[in-house]
Structure 1
């Protein structure tokens, strides 16, 4: 499976990369302070932040693998999880945003320092940095593997090109460049998805009516499964409860998202962006799931001659059935790159922000000038970018199961961080030692549930939407109980009212 780009397709692809770099140079002119570089001078419009939130949480897996879910027996039932996102982000707006707009914070984990102490802040920030860069390095690997398989480019070349372009526009433009590029990249992959829908309607005998009929006959149009199950992720309860807690963790405590909220002009603007992003995500996921349903219908009429995994069917269709050299293949390749770069650039900017504000500045014995801090922040961007490229190249030497397990571990942070924030919001009597004991307990329980509690066939007994709930509940419960053994003393250095 390989495709050769025509000159029009190549022009579309090169145009995307050129625009991304140009935006970095143009927006970089406004970055005269660290705050402008890391937070866009807290002046970005809510609709741009909304686009950036959605693009950031959309990886290459969404663009290519989510159609594989719709192609399989799950069909549209995946959307139950997205409904939980709406509920969870409503809670983020009401509970978490007031914490971040209480003072001019630069990092999400400064809230934990105010409420639980500097050790907890450092632990949370370090957990974020490790899991974020491991996870996004592996996601860059997945993007590189797709490009290598579809276009037969050398793998290292794939990840170096994607990584280098992203580093370049983030280095110069900072968060402004990240957010404006995210908005453009969001538009690109949505247009690519809509184009795929239109092409499939045109190619399937009977068109739209046949697709609807096929979806009904095969139950792929069914949205809700009311049966409760811990092992099946695609039921209403796992979607509403597990999905809600997961998005509270990822969008309420992960600095990659919180950094965007802090760049808004006001708490009200940030809240509007967060809540509406959940609605846009539901529509976006529905689009890519529906592409999968259409693909199942298409290949029921034109059966595949080779056995192909569901998550690679969309890539196979792009190569074999997209019109050649009219710009559409270039557009879909641009969409794949856009999804990868939006996540990677957001990760770089958020990692630099966390490292600078949670470690570099507090550990400096002498005050650091803002000019020096800006220079350090830019070179940290390069450092994190090189690190993620290195992780992706290293992952190419690993077994697929190892990579999947590493991605699962990278996802643990949402539950642990949410448990820490819950302890901070509750302001229980727990000392920093007790809180850290709770976090370690949460990690141990998540490792046990994810890697030890398996069926005889090796399947998970507990589906992934429940992991954030398990991790946060364990961290909060154990941390609270440990507070009776390690109570917070009256002379604590915490900033308590």
Structure 2
């Protein structure tokens, strides 16, 4: 489908506004304090909507509907653990990071354990974020290809360069305010898609619930052979039960709000602890409904294509086409002229709101935790600002390169793949922070014992995943549980080592 002139006008207008925000804030970026935390002046509602934009990425706009279309709602379960995680974050984690004008999540690790642990935390974050950046940019490129017809390489490079441009020049101010804009556009785009689907279905909303309900598309169970299995609430390390999915969600969310720079940087950019806490509540009561909405959108698309059979949709269900191509195909083939532009802008917003946050946070950690702390201490603030710009450019290049590699990789649905990657790359960070938050025992020696054991454990699961180990010594559990077990191992080993080696009077 060729886009109508109205669609191109909407798209061009949206992109110009985003770029304009970056240019506007570039004039204010005269210090690292402004570039990294925006002068610490943001209100809670801005922080909350920015957090929504950061977490609701292409994985929401493209992969959530794709997953619900192809399977059921099992992978929505981890999101429900956000509520208890936010409560812990608001009253336990947040106060730690608001003390002492911190800029990085990993400054706490040095205060608690010593500089070597801070370096470990920073590097673990950088690795995970570079993987995430590549994944989200690749998803963005699918839509660009569908809309413009350009080659995958061209789509990846164009998308990466645009996001990198306004992020590099605009800093955290541009990131936060574009995230707010992109959250609104994202929601509008999804609503328009659902409206088109319901308007086309003879039975409307009731037909979605009837057909999808009969087929088990709302089930909270593993999807096997075109149908849901039984929903199990048991504790198991070998299957994806509802209880275990909730525990995975709790682990991932606690990690997000204790050790993820994307989140902690927004704590630090808030006007006060009260405003930062208010931002968490705004995030909670906005994100959960939006995630559910996009899962429902995928279910509605399944009903739509049952009523109106489509070659591409059938190929996705049969595994002959990537599930993440579903939304781009629907947007370009079924949305009326003039509306497609808004929805495409929403899809672009979904990707860019996460990409810009990650680029900025990777830059912040690289400068604050590594370059300024260890490589070139004592330089002028202007020097560090220039280095931040240079690092942001390098990160953009890495992001584009990773997306090009991912374009040739074999994956399942991307939501499934991303969950496994988060578990593998988490490195037991939650366990490390919890040991620091809730115990004063132990120093860097205890922390390194926990880290070493966790890295051995994680390496074992990676080798198992690659099929490089005999069955007798392979991990006997689902890889979804790597992060959960790894964090428990980190905390237990670290606590035990702290008991054996009391902390000396000075850090390592």
Q: What TM-score do you get using the length of structure 2 for normalisation?
A: 0.88
How many residue pairs get aligned? The number is: 485
Q: Which of residues 23, 30, 40 in structure 2 aligns to 1:42?
A: 40
Shift in alpha-carbon separation, 1:277–1:300, aligned structure 2, 3 A: same
Q: Which residue of 2 aligns with 1:298?
A: 304
The 8 Å contact of residues 67 and 292 in structure 1, kept in 2 or not, is answered as yes
What per-residue deviation string (whole Å, max 9, x for no partner) do you get for residues 78-114 of structure 1?
A: 4322111122121111211011012111111010100
Q: Which residue of 2 aligns with 1:308?
A: 315
Q: Which of residues 82, 101, 118 in structure 2 aligns to 1:85?
A: 82
Q: Which residue of 2 aligns with 1:178?
A: 175
Q: Which residue of 2 aligns with 1:375?
A: 386
Alpha-carbon distance in 2 for matches of 1:245, 1:407: 12
Q: Which residue of 2 aligns with 1:349?
A: 360
Q: Which of residues 180, 184, 187 in structure 2 aligns to 1:187?
A: 184
Q: Which residue of 1 aligns with 2:320?
A: none
For residue 179 of structure 1, report the CA deviation from its aligned partner.
0.5
Q: Which of residues 111, 118, 123 in structure 1 aligns to 2:120?
A: 123
Structure 2, unaligned stretches of length 5 or more?
222-230, 318-322
Q: Which residue of 1 aligns with 2:330?
A: 317
Q: Which residue of 2 aligns with 1:417?
A: 429
Alpha-carbon distance in 2 for matches of 1:159, 1:73: 28
Shift in alpha-carbon separation, 1:463–1:51, aligned structure 2, 3 A: farther
For residue 445 of structure 1, report the CA deviation from its aligned partner.
2.1
Alpha-carbon distance in 2 for matches of 1:15, 1:443: 47
Q: Does 1:492 align with 2:506?
A: yes
The 8 Å contact of residues 243 and 465 in structure 1, kept in 2 or not, is answered as no
Q: Which of residues 237, 241, 247 in structure 2 aligns to 1:241?
A: 247
For residue 144 of structure 1, report the CA deviation from its aligned partner.
1.7
Alpha-carbon distance in 2 for matches of 1:434, 1:279: 38
Q: Secondary structure at the match of 2:141?
A: helix
Please give the root-mean-square deviation of Cα atoms over the aligned residues, in Å: 2.7
The 8 Å contact of residues 220 and 293 in structure 1, kept in 2 or not, is answered as yes
Q: Which of residues 250, 253, 257 in structure 1 aligns to 2:259?
A: 253
Within 5 Å, give how 1:254-293 maps onto structure 2: 254-293=260-299
Structure 1, unaligned stretches of length 5 or more?
none
Within 5 Å, give how 1:218-237 maps onto structure 2: 218-222=215-219, 225=231, 227-228=233-234, 229-233=236-240, 235-237=241-243
Shift in alpha-carbon separation, 1:131–1:149, aligned structure 2, 3 A: same
Shift in alpha-carbon separation, 1:365–1:190, aligned structure 2, 3 A: closer
Q: Which of residues 320, 336, 344 in structure 2 aligns to 1:333?
A: 344
Q: Secondary structure at the match of 1:102?
A: helix
Q: Which residue of 1 aligns with 2:405?
A: 394
For residue 150 of structure 1, report the CA deviation from its aligned partner.
5.5
Q: Which residue of 1 aligns with 2:70?
A: 72
Q: Which residue of 2 aligns with 1:110?
A: 107
Q: What TM-score do you get using the length of structure 1 for normalisation?
A: 0.90
The 8 Å contact of residues 415 and 467 in structure 1, kept in 2 or not, is answered as no
Q: Secondary structure at the match of 2:99?
A: coil
More deviation in 112-121 or 372-381?
372-381
The 8 Å contact of residues 113 and 119 in structure 1, kept in 2 or not, is answered as yes
Q: Which of residues 467, 485, 492 in structure 2 aligns to 1:470?
A: 485
Q: Does 1:437 align with 2:479?
A: no
Alpha-carbon distance in 2 for matches of 1:407, 1:238: 13
Shift in alpha-carbon separation, 1:444–1:253, aligned structure 2, 3 A: same
